[in-house]
Amino acid sequence: MKWWEQWAFNGLHGVVTVTGLAYFYMKYAVTAVDPFAVINHPWQPAMLSLHLLAAPVFIAFFGMVFRSHTLKKLISPSARNRRSGWMSLLSFSAMALSGYLLQVASTPEFVTAMVWAHVSTSV
């Protein structure tokens, strides 16, 4: 893995994490002052937009890191590090899939299920 791949992956991971946590806090922990408000915090739409813009780039970098680092470990004859490689592949795939499905969810039950799946696999 090249130094710039690692740097960019870690930087994007930080951006996605911070914007996701900030959006989650603003949506579920902050109470709006105005009872007729659609959003709970003025920065809530910006955090969601930044999260949704950074996440696909982060997923692309995960693919680069997976190809150059994790896949080599998974197909090697040595069993070392396979558990963490499989765990990162499965949890990252579930996180990305639930994040995309969250954008197209239409029923409240499905939205709730996708929020739980997205948050739990992100953690």
pLDDT at 86: 85
Across the chain, what does the average pLDDT equal?
91
pTM of the predicted model, to two decimals? Answer: 0.87
In the block, residue with structure tokens 């990305």:
96
What is the distance of C-alpha 70 from the center of its chain?
A: 18
CB 30 within 8 A of CB 40: yes
**CA pair distance 72, 14, nearest whole angstrom:** 25
Q: Is 107 exposed, middle or buried (0-12, 13-18, 19+ CB in 10 A)?
A: exposed
Summarize pLDDT for 67-116 with one digit per residue, the tens.
Answer: 888 888 788 777 777 777 888 889 999 999 999 999 999 999 999 999 99
Question: Can you say whether residue 41 is alpha, beta or left, with left for phi > 0 and alpha for psi between -120 and 50 degrees?
Answer: beta
Q: What is the pLDDT of residue 62?
A: 93
